[in-house]
């Protein structure tokens, strides 16, 4: 009620000037209702707590359903006449993309509400913010609202078998010059490099770290490595315009499937390097996860693949990015390059990497089969070329 | 369903009729004083009847989809019928011969047909009828989500609120006039006053209940349009909480004082006079010993300066007039209490309004003298707050020193807490002073103990201050070993924690002393 305050003041002045005592009863009644309504609303919103719980945690795989439980609690002693709950949700998980309800809460009362999210596709989905609004029963005080922080649900990319993708199952997809399982010689340090997520604490060079003030890890001289790095191209200019969405998603699925295969089937280390838009930072960033073994590292890779989005503002062209990433890799490592088109610059980069001593496998994600030139060039460089565009894989998307 | 039907169909006209009855009753009371031979019962019954009738007719008109000429004819017939009923009701206490004689007089003087009594009753009834008709329209608009979709939800509600306050103004006008007339004719008795107050409060209580229901209707309409799920208990609890809120407000309205004998300006004058008197008295008491000492030193010669004269007592004209009954000081106190409460309530209302309407401030900022005044006020306010804070801190320090002295514990060296110490240094001070007290209590910290180890060691001895002890240790470690800034809020928490721990250590010291004495 917008004009109540001026009315109360006017009435008070009228009562003072006319000196009619009982007018003050009316002033007190209106002012009392006004003040009580305001204090009640403010007290109510201060003592309102909301919590969101996901039954499967904040991670899920495509096809799974996640039950979300909202807990609304009035911690104060005063009741709340009405509370409007509005939880904003991603349209890819639920339709309509929100959960709304109006409830009334007694003092110290708790209520729970449940809704289900269905994970159809990979992504990094914000849940919320959860908005709570309350007010008084007479409309004398303005409604107050508060918002809780957003939470996030990560839906991992789909993981398919390599047969479904039409890829060979012998890993690491390229011929290794020697089967000797030597990776790095810890007695032979050739330098240091900045610490990256996933590096073992044992590799940290404490002296160099203390000197430089930056966390640095040791680089050992490499022997032949049987580690693999998946280099994923997410530059939208490198994919066919007509079916760009399918192509990019298929490239991500292929990356996830290969990483899964290498870790779970071959029991080898795998890493990921890509340039993509990160919704968490709302910017194009370079992801570099060095090769490691184990399920935990695989989950890290899948998490990055879940939230990576294609970009049109890659910091570096993909061939240059490959060259840069190769600098931190041990000799003999396998690079699995996944892209949407094969260009001359890419061929040059692959030739350079091959000469440097890396094993290379090129996976092209595009509708037409690779041309004769591409295959010939691959054969010349001893780089196996594969194409991913199987109907079974597309159906699974 | 039946409850909802009753709530929509009958509750609003019932409350509206009741509110109209309040206005009509106040008008009738006024008329009773001005023209005692008028039929005051008719003045109450007809407007109430008109309100109920208008509400039902409005519903019928909507059901029949009447509009334009048809609607006008429908309304005209109803108003004409009301006029005839009013005119007829005016003759209820007349005989047929008297009525016939008056009817013959209409031919010669047509103006006599519209006598004052009839015109006043018709005006009151028609006002009630028109208000009820437009209120029914607004209620329909407010409740019907489909017919008026796309329009502003708040407009019908704002119109209804406007009508409520307009009606309240009319009521207060009639009641105020009646009140003044009764005072002038010295006929005001306690029952009369109670009826007036009851009538007015009933109107406003009824109106506020109705506004509460209208608010629910509006909110419900918004929620239904937005397809929001509603809890079934909402309606019941809404009316419950409305009644609770209004009961408390009504209690406040009756409990707070309404009478005062000193006007606000008189009160200000009295306060200023009192303060002047107080300052004068203090000055007199302050100067008196010096004057006495000087007079002793110069006993050979007569004192050059005589003691200052005693301040004048408060002038009589500042007090309430002699006509007031009862104790004079009680009257002053009553007025002070009244103005204090009234101005506080008014100040809160103004402040809230100001906060809700920031655009007002933007407009007022164009007026330079006002902004200068506000700047000065802010400066003074800031200075006062700072002074209060400084005084509080000084007092806290003094109290803690006094406590330490009382407990025979060595005072903490001021070297650790120089004046103007930073907030980080103050955290150190609180922690280290606690360590000193712990040492006095027989639980010193060893040199090889880290703060966390010492916390673990001391915690079993401080069962009632475990949380405070943990908080103090955490705050010290953060302040000492991290670059995280220490703000005033953190500092206040640390101070409280230190106080709790030190109080617990005092108890521990006392216990230790007792044990030692017992052992001796």
Whether residue B343 lies within 8 A of chain A, CB to CB, comes out as no
Chain-centroid distance of CA A31 in Å reads 52
Q: Do A82 and B219 touch (CB under 8 A)?
A: yes
CA Rg value for chain A: 30
HSE-CB of A395 using CA atoms within 13 angstroms: 4
Whether residue A7 lies within 8 A of chain B, CB to CB, comes out as yes
What residue of B is the nearest CA neighbor of A101? B229
Mean pLDDT, residues B213-220: 86
Q: Is residue A27 part of a domain?
A: no
Residues A168 and A111 in one domain: no
How close does chain B come to A281, measured CA to CA in Å? 25
Per-residue pLDDT at B63: 85
* A232 band by pLDDT with thresholds 50, 70 and 90: very high
Whether residue A17 lies within 8 A of chain B, CB to CB, comes out as no
Per-residue pLDDT at A86: 93
- Please give the residue range of the domain that contains residue A302: 162-183+223-396
A233: nearest Cα among A254, A208, A216: A254
How far is it, in rounded angstroms, from Cα A179 to Cα B111? 124
What residue of B is the nearest CA neighbor of A7? B165
Domain boundary among A137, A155, A173: A155
Number of compact structural domains in chain A: 2
In the DSSP assignment, the letter for residue B229 is E
Cα dihedral across residues B135, B137, B140, B145: positive or negative: negative
* A182 band by pLDDT with thresholds 50, 70 and 90: very low
Q: How many CB pairs under 8 A join A and B?
A: 149
Find the DSSP H helices in B64-115.
Answer: 68-89, 96-108
Of B157, B165, B258, the CB nearest to A21: B258
Say if CB A368 and CB A344 are below 8 A apart.
no
Could you report the predicted ipTM of this complex, rounded to two decimals?
0.70
Q: Do B211 and A1 touch (CB under 8 A)?
A: yes
Q: Is residue A205 part of a domain?
A: no
How far is it, in rounded angstroms, from Cα B271 to Cα B314? 10
Per-residue pLDDT at A66: 93
Residues A247 and A375 in one domain: yes
* B187 band by pLDDT with thresholds 50, 70 and 90: low
Q: Do A28 and B256 touch (CB under 8 A)?
A: yes
Of A1, A27, A33, the CB nearest to B245: A33
Tens of pLDDT, residues B392-414: 888 888 887 777 666 544 444 44
Each as own residue / partner, the long-range contacts of residues B137-143 (CB below 8 Å, 24 or more positions apart, any chain) are B137/B58, B138/B163, B139/B12, B139/B214, B139/B217, B140/B58, B140/B62, B142/B214, B142/B217, B142/B218, B142/B221, B143/B8, B143/B217, B143/B221
Residues A255 and A365 in one domain: yes
Say if CB B346 and CB A9 are below 8 A apart.
yes
Residues of B with CB below 8 A from A38's CB? 352
The kind and range of the H/E element at A259 are helix A244-260
Per-residue pLDDT at B247: 93
Residue appearing with tokens 């208008």: B54
Per-residue pLDDT at B322: 44
Residues A78 and A170 in one domain: no
- Chain A contacts in chain B segment 176-205 (CB below 8 A): 176, 179-180, 193, 196-197, 200-201, 204-205
Q: Is residue A203 part of a domain?
A: no
Whether residue A13 lies within 8 A of chain B, CB to CB, comes out as no
Residues A360 and A275 in one domain: yes
Residues A90 and A169 in one domain: no
Burial grade of A396 (CB within 10 A; 0-12, 13-18, 19 or more): middle
CA Rg value for chain B: 38
What residue of A is the nearest CA neighbor of B243? A137
The answer to whether residue A177 scores a pLDDT higher than 50 is no
Mutate to test the interface with A, among B156, B169, B258, B341 (most CBs of A within 10 A): B258
Return left, alpha or beta for A267; rule: phi > 0 is left, psi -120 to 50 is alpha, else beta. Answer: left
Residues of B with CB below 8 A from A30's CB? 204
Query: Largest Cα–Cα distance of chain A, in whole Å?
Result: 107
Burial A250-281 (b: 16+ CB within 10 A, else e): bbbbbbbbbbbbbbeebebbbbbbbbbbbeee
Per-residue pLDDT at B400: 74
For chain B, which residues make up each domain, given as ranges? Answer: 13-255, 264-356, 407-519
Whether residue A20 lies within 8 A of chain B, CB to CB, comes out as yes
Per-residue pLDDT at B135: 87
Mean pLDDT, residues B482-511: 84
The kind and range of the H/E element at A125 are strand A123-127
What residue of B is the nearest CA neighbor of A102? B230
Per-residue pLDDT at A77: 92
Q: Do A32 and B223 touch (CB under 8 A)?
A: no
How far is it, in rounded angstroms, from Cα B264 to Cα B84? 52
The token duo for A361 is 């496998």
Q: How far apart are the two ends of chain B, measured CA to CA in Å?
A: 85
How close does chain A come to B72, measured CA to CA in Å? 33
Residues A100 and A169 in one domain: no
Of B201, B205, B350, the CB nearest to A5: B350
* B311 band by pLDDT with thresholds 50, 70 and 90: low
Residues of B with CB below 8 A from A44's CB? none
Residues of B with CB below 8 A from A14's CB? 172
Residues A119 and A178 in one domain: no
Most confident of A372-386, B223-237, B479-493: B223-237
Q: Is residue A202 part of a domain?
A: no
How far is it, in rounded angstroms, from Cα A328 to Cα A290? 8
* A221 band by pLDDT with thresholds 50, 70 and 90: low
In the DSSP assignment, the letter for residue A235 is B
Lowest mean pLDDT among A89-98, B48-57, B190-199: B190-199
The answer to whether residue A277 scores a pLDDT higher than 90 is yes
Of B175, B233, B238, the CB nearest to A137: B238
Lowest mean pLDDT among A382-391, B313-322, B346-355: B313-322
A30: nearest Cα among B344, B340, B249: B249
Residues A172 and A130 in one domain: no
Q: Do B231 and A1 touch (CB under 8 A)?
A: no
Mutate to test the interface with B, among A18, A32, A42, A145 (most CBs of B within 10 A): A32
* Pairing state between β A59-60 and A184-194: unpaired
Residues A256 and A134 in one domain: no
In the DSSP assignment, the letter for residue A262 is I
CATH of the domain at A287: 3.40.50.410
The answer to whether residue B312 scores a pLDDT higher than 80 is no
Mutate to test the interface with A, among B174, B353, B356 (most CBs of A within 10 A): B353
Q: Give me the percent of chain A exceeding a pLDDT of 70.
A: 91
Residues of B with CB below 8 A from A29's CB? 201, 204-205, 249-250, 252-253
Mean pLDDT, residues A130-149: 90
How close does chain B come to A136, measured CA to CA in Å? 9
Lowest mean pLDDT among A260-264, A311-315, B10-14, B450-454: B10-14
Tens of pLDDT, residues B4-40: 555 556 777 788 888 888 888 888 888 888 787 787 7
Q: Is residue A19 part of a domain?
A: no
How far is it, in rounded angstroms, from Cα A79 to Cα B242? 12
Report the helix count and the strand count for chain B, using DSSP H and E.
17, 1
Q: Do B229 and A102 touch (CB under 8 A)?
A: yes
Lowest mean pLDDT among A90-94, A243-247, B93-97, B270-274: B93-97
Of B165, B215, B350, the CB nearest to A139: B215
Whether residue B264 lies within 8 A of chain A, CB to CB, comes out as yes
Residues A335 and A237 in one domain: yes
Residues A242 and A111 in one domain: no
Residues of A with CB below 8 A from B180's CB? 18, 20
């Amino acid at each position: 009620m917008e004009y109540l305050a001026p009315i109360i003041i006017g009435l008070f002045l009228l009562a003072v000037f006319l000196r009619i005592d009982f007018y003050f009863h009316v002033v007190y009644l209106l002012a009392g209702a006004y003040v009580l309504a305001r204090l009640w609303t403010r007290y109510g919103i201060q003592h309102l707590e909301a919590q969101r719980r996901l039954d499967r945690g904040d991670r899920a795989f495509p096809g799974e359903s996640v039950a979300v439980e909202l807990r609304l609690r009035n911690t104060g002693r005063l009741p709340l006449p009405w509370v409007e709950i509005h939880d904003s949700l991603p349209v890819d998980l639920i339709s309509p993309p929100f959960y709304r309800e109006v409830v009334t809460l007694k003092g110290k009362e708790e209520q729970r509400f449940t809704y289900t999210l269905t994970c159809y596709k990979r992504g990094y989905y914000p849940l919320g913010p959860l908005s709570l609004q309350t007010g008084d029963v007479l409309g004398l005080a303005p409604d107050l609202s508060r918002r809780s922080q957003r939470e996030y649900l990560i839906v991992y990319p789909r993981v398919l078998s390599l047969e479904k993708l039409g890829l060979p199952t012998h890993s690491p997809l390229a011929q290794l010059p020697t089967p000797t399982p030597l990776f790095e010689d810890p007695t032979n340090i050739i330098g240091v490099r900045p610490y990256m997520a996933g590096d073992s604490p044992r590799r940290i060079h404490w002296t160099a770290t203390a000197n430089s003030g930056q966390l640095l890890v040791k680089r050992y001289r490499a022997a032949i490595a049987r580690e693999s790095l998946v280099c994923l191209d997410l530059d939208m200019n490198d994919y066919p315009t007509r079916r760009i969405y399918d192509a990019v998603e298929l490239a991500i699925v292929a990356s996830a499937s290969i990483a899964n295969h290498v870790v779970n089937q071959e029991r080898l280390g795998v890493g990921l390097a890509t340039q993509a838009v990160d919704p968490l930072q709302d910017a194009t960033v370079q992801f570099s996860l060095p090769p490691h073994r184990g399920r935990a590292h695989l989950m890290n890779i899948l998490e990055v693949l879940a939230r990576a989005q294609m970009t049109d503002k890659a910091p570096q062209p993909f061939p240059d990015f490959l060259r840069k990433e190769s600098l931190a890799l041990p000799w003999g490592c396998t690079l699995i390059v996944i892209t949407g088109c094969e260009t001359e610059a890419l061929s040059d980069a692959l030739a350079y990497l091959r000469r440097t001593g890396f094993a290379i496998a090129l996976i092209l994600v595009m509708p037409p089969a690779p041309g004769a030139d591409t295959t010939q060039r691959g054969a010349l460089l001893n780089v196996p070329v594969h194409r991913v565009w199987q109907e079974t894989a597309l159906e699974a998307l | 369903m039946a409850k909802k039907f009753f709530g929509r169909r009958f509750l609003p006209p019932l409350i509206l009729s009741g509110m109209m009855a309040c206005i009509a009753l106040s008008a009738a009371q006024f008329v009773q004083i001005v023209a005692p031979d008028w039929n005051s019962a008719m003045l109450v019954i007809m407007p109430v009847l008109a309100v109920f009738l208008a509400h039902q007719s409005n519903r019928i008109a909507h059901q029949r989809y009447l509009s334009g000429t048809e609607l006008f004819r429908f309304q005209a017939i109803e108003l004409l019928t009301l006029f005839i009923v009013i005119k007829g009701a005016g003759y209820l206490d007349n005989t047929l011969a008297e009525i016939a004689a008056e009817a013959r007089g209409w031919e010669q003087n047509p103006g006599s047909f519209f006598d004052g009594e009839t015109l006043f009753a018709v005006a009151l009834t028609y006002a009630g009828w028109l208000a009820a008709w437009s209120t029914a329209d607004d209620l329909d608009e407010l409740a019907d989500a489909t017919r008026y979709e796309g329009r502003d939800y708040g407009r019908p509600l704002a119109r209804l609120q406007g009508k409520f306050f307009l009606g309240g103004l009319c009521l207060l006008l009639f009641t105020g006039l009646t009140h003044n007339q009764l005072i002038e004719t010295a006929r005001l008795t306690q029952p009369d006053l109670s009826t007036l107050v009851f009538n007015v409060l009933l109107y406003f209580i009824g109106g506020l209940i109705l506004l509460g229901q209208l608010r629910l209707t509006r909110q419900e309409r918004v929620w239904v349009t937005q397809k929001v799920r509603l809890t079934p208990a909402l309606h019941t609890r809404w009316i419950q909480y409305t009644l609770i809120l209004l009961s408390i407000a009504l209690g406040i309205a009756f409990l707070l004082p309404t009478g005062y004998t000193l006007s606000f300006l008189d009160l200000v004058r009295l306060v200023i006079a009192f303060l002047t008197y107080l300052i004068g008295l203090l000055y007199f008491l302050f100067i008196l010993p010096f004057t006495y000492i000087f007079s002793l030193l110069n006993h050979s010669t007569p004192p050059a300066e005589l003691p200052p004269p005693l301040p004048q007592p408060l002038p009589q004209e500042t007090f309430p007039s002699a006509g007031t009954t009862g104790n004079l000081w009680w009257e002053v106190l009553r007025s002070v209490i009244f103005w204090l409460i009234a101005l506080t309530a008014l100040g809160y209302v103004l402040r809230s309004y100001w906060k809700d309407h920031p655009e007002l401030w933007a407009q007022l900022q164009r007026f330079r003298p006002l902004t200068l005044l506000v700047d000065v006020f802010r400066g003074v306010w800031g200075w006062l707050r700072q002074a209060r804070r400084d005084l509080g801190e000084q007092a806290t320090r003094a109290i803690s020193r006094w406590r330490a002295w009382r407990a025979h514990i060595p005072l903490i060296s001021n070297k650790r807490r120089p004046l103007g110490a930073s907030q980080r240094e103050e955290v150190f001070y609180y922690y280290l002073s606690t360590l000193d007290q712990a040492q006095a209590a027989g639980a010193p910290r060893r040199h090889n103990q880290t703060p966390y180890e010492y916390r673990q060691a001391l915690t079993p001895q401080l069962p009632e201050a475990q949380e405070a002890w943990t908080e103090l240790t955490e705050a010290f470690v953060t302040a000492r070993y991290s670059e995280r800034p220490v703000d005033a809020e953190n500092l206040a928490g640390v101070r409280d924690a230190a106080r709790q721990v030190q109080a617990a250590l005092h108890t521990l010291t006392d216990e230790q002393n007792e044990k030692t004495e017992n052992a001796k």
